[in-house]
Amino acid sequence: MSAAPQAQSRESRAAQPDALLAAHSVACHFQVSAGSRLFGRHRTLKAVDTVSLALTPGEIVALVGESGSGKSTLGRLLLGLAPPSAGRVSYRGEDITALEGEAWRRYRREVQVVFQDTGTSLNPRRAVGDAVALPLHYNLGLDQREAGPRADALLDQVGLAPATFRRRLPHELSGGQRQRIGLARALASEPRVIIADEPVSALDVSVRAQMLTLMQKLAKEQGVALLVITHDLGVVRAIADRVLVMYLGRIVEEGESAEVILRPRHPYTGALLAATPIADPARRGTRRATALRGDPPSVTDLPAGCRFRSRCPQAEALCAEREPLLVQVSEGSSAACLFPAGGRYLKRRP
Amino acid sequence: MSTLLEVEDLCVDLAAPDGTLRLVDGVSFKVAAGETVGLVGESGCGKSMTAFALLNLFPTPRLKASSGAIRFEGRDLMSLSPQAWRGMRGARLAMVFQDPSGFLDPLMPVGRQIAETLISHGRKRGVAERVHELLALLEMPDPAIVAGKYPHELSGGQRQRVLIAAALAMEPALLIADEPTTALDVTVQAGILEVLARLRDRLGLAMLLITHDLGVVAESCERVYVMYAGRIVETASATELFARPRHPYTRGLLKSTLPFEGRGELFSIPGRVPGPRRAGSGGPASCRFAPRCPAAQPDPCGLRDPALVARQGANEEGADACFRSGEIAGADIWAGSGR
């Protein structure tokens, strides 16, 4: 029950030989001052706190949690957009901070991102057809004559008719259409890894399935590794092979998505599932009342022991003393809880 | 239950440079006192335009409700004077929008913003107490402290609660909520939906919930209207609609929700919502859904626009606008398409 075998199992998972992109116990801390800049107390905000994960080719991993849980920051660490305060991120086995020259360019080309807010990540003065063609030019070295038809094919692939959309400016598109431009743009560089931050939350149900199907195809047919950051467990159920549940900077549950959704071990995962609406009025009122009350505590002011205990419906005295580690609780899942549902870590006392 | 709101044959037109476009085309619906009614459909179906028309609050003067009737508490809203509208909006009829931060002044404490509603409707005494009472009603901890905070100091869910509190300040009979929880986390969404349900029971508040999330509709609505391309294509009680959808569009929408258990097949309705039609271009020549419909036939779907016809037998409330809904009721029309 010590931390050693646990740390080992986590390390071994992150160190899978076929992992494309992996994070090894990464952390991302920010210094924030409370009150006056000069005299206020300085505090450390641990946005991401010792997280390990690995993405293998053809695998779709979902990262779920509420806003403020550190999901997007973890995505930024993996993309090399923010330096980790501790730990390291590796691509094809090499530390990304050590990459130089061609190796660095390859990492930047092969690891692409689809941002959540495409309203601000697209140049407002550039036609979206050109926005998609740019990476073809810079990353693949195609000239304008070759890039045009390729850009059209990419627009078509994401379900936007090239003839109609090629010349449009971002403000002339709906949020969902811009989101798809974001994906087309990421696909232009022929990536091996795509990190998609809330790729479908702005989309209508009918378009959402189209996008999810496209992502599934990318993974299964082209072996692209996908990390889908989302707060929608419906998306996880639909496409993810594996799911990581994040709460205040830590992974609190991890496992095969079917297993985690069917038998959530961590009370936080259970609460997220209970809060997801079901499209069936006959079952109204059958799901558990939402266990979660209020907002998560501030990341600068974490409670001692388990960080979920202030909102946990099952917290016990021991939870205030000991911080739970991520340990395997069943064949397909691990949870960071002293009293996981159906777990064999610690028997719940009567 | 008495009818609170009755909309009849409402049309909303947009004056575009090259002619007038009809965004909402002959929509009729009712909301009874204390009832929660859902209005669902994809983006661009005219849901929000319908809501704007109810409040006479269009984002641009080029939009206007061109014909039809809106009766609310026995008064004809279409013929109200601007003065009469000021007494109505925010007092008897209130609205909550999707993006809570866009509707709050960043430089004013939220308590004062709630108080503004009260003051502008002539309330002079006990304003602060009422603000605290409203925040408590929305289940905010420490109302007095929250009232003094600025919007940036609150979380998204708290901001949405503040907006709902402001909308409820004058105890309206009807709350129009346009995607009130779409931008929020599921946990926060569940909390807000629960509060709204409790308010409905406590205050007898009627609600028109506009959303594209069928899960939210199933959780909270008693009756549902499904909108497509500016028209209502189906209506029924929530239980009936989810159990036995009739219109191919409704059936497609339900099929494209992500399954709760297991990994079902991902489905999407092929094609897109058509652009709005020109106003007064003569009778529409075909069913608006025909281009995307697997059950469409040249005759009659390609010849006439179907009207909303009450279901025969079943329940007296349900109606759908499909020529073939009876014929195809048993068939799996969407099988094998739309992947």
pLDDT tens digits for range A49-89: 999 999 999 999 999 988 888 898 999 999 999 999 999 99
**Contact between A74 and A63 (Cβ < 8 Å):** yes
Pair of tokens at residue B289: 């859904």
Question: Mean pLDDT in chain B?
Answer: 88
Chain B residue nearest residue A174, CA to CA: B43
More confident residue, A233 or A54: A54
Q: A155 — contact with chain B (CB < 8 Å)? A: no
Best CA proximity match to B149, nearest among B158, B139, B157: B158
Using alpha carbons, select from B283, B294, B289 the residue that is nearest to residue B321.
Answer: B289
Tell whether A210 is within 8 A of chain B (Cβ). yes
C-beta neighbour count of B59 within 10 angstroms:
9
> Could you tell me if A137 and A144 are in contact, meaning their C-beta atoms sit under 8 angstroms apart?
yes
Nearest CB to B214 within list A205, A216, A271: A205
pLDDT higher for A45 or A132? A132
Q: Report the pLDDT value the prediction gives residue A5, as an integer from 0 to 100.
A: 42
* Chain A hits for B221, Cβ within 8 Å: 281
Lookup: tokens for B146: 């929250």
pLDDT number for residue A38: 62
Q: Which residue of A has its CA nearest to B213?
A: A205
Which is more confident, A34 or B130?
A: B130
Q: State the residue for tokens 């505590």.
A: A297
Residue with tokens 């990304």: A96
Interchain CB distance below 8 Å, A206 and B258: no
Nearest residue on chain A to B240, judged by CA atoms? A281
Greater pLDDT, B319 or A16: B319
Q: What is the mean pLDDT of residues B143-148?
A: 92
Residue A321 has pLDDT above 80, yes or no: yes
* Residues whose CB falls within 8 Å of the CB of residue B286, separated by 6 or more in sequence, listed in order: B301, B302, B303, B304, B305
Q: Pick the residue from chain A with its C-alpha nearest to B224.
A: A281
A216 at interface of B, judged by CB pairs closer than 8 A: yes
Instruction: Grade residue B260 by pLDDT with cuts at 50, 70 and 90.
Output: low
- Chain A residue numbers with beta carbons less than 8 Å from the beta carbon of B43 are 174, 176, 204
pLDDT digits (tens, 9 = 90+) for B23-47: 999 999 999 999 999 999 888 889 9
Bridge partners of A334?
A: A254, A328
As a whole number, mean pLDDT of residues B278-295 equals 80
Nearest CA in chain B to A235: B258
CB contact A284 to B (< 8 Å): yes
Q: How many residues does chain B have?
A: 339
Cα–Cα distances in angstroms (integers) from residue B199 to residues A289, B224, B233, in the given order: 17, 20, 30
Question: Residue B1 — very low, low, confident or very high, per pLDDT cuts 50/70/90?
Answer: low
Reported as a pLDDT band with limits 50, 70 and 90, residue B98 is confident
Q: Is some CB atom of chain B closer than 8 A to the CB atom of A206? A: yes
- Position A160, amino acid: L
E strands, chain B, in order = 3-16, 19-32, 36-40, 63-72, 75-76, 93-96, 174-178, 206-211, 223-228, 231-237, 277-278, 309-310, 319-320
Nearest to A210 among B216, B264, B268 (CB): B268
* pLDDT over 60 (residue A284): yes
Question: What integer is the mean pLDDT of B50-64?
Answer: 91
Beta carbons of A67 and B156 less than 8 Å apart: yes
Confidence (pLDDT) at B316:
58
Residue B129's pLDDT is 94
- A290 has a pLDDT exceeding 60: no
| Predicted local distance difference test score (pLDDT) of residue A8 | 41
Distance from the B114 Cα atom to the nearest Cα atom in chain A, whole angstroms: 21
Using a CB-CB distance cutoff of 8 angstroms, which residues of chain A are in contact with residue B42? 204-207
Residue A157: predicted pLDDT: 86
Q: pTM, whole model, 2 decimals?
A: 0.84
The residue of A206, A256, A272 whose CB has the most chain B CBs within 10 angstroms, and thus the best one to mutate to test that interface, is A206
| A291 and B CB contact within 8 Å | no
Q: How far is A263 from chain B (nearest CA, A)?
A: 12
Distance, in Å, from the CA atom of B175 to the CA atom of B160, rounded to the nearest integer, reads: 14
Residue A143 has pLDDT above 70, yes or no: yes
Quick check: B219 and A258 CB within 8 A?
A: no
* Mean pLDDT, residues A253-268 taken together: 92
- Is 80 exceeded by the pLDDT of residue A349? no
- For B222, nearest residue in chain A (alpha carbons): A281
Q: Please tell me which residue, B286 or B227, carries the higher pLDDT value.
A: B227
Among the partner residues B186, B194, B242, nearest to A280 by beta-carbon distance = B242
Q: Among A112-121, A216-225, B46-55, which is the least confidently predicted range?
A: A112-121
Collect all residues of chain A within an 8 Å Cβ-Cβ radius of residue B244: none
Determine the pLDDT at residue B72.
94
Per-residue pLDDT tens for B190-234? 888 888 988 888 889 999 999 988 889 998 999 999 999 999 999
- Per-residue pLDDT, A74: 94
| Sheet (strand A242-247) strand order | A111-114, A193-197, A225-230, A60-64, A242-247, A250-256, A333-335, A327-330
Instruction: Kindly state the average pLDDT of the residues B306-318.
Output: 75
pLDDT averaged over every residue in chain A: 84
Contact check, Cβ <8 Å, B191/A290: yes
User: Quick one: average pLDDT of A198-213?
Assistant: 81
Say whether pLDDT at A177 is over 80: yes
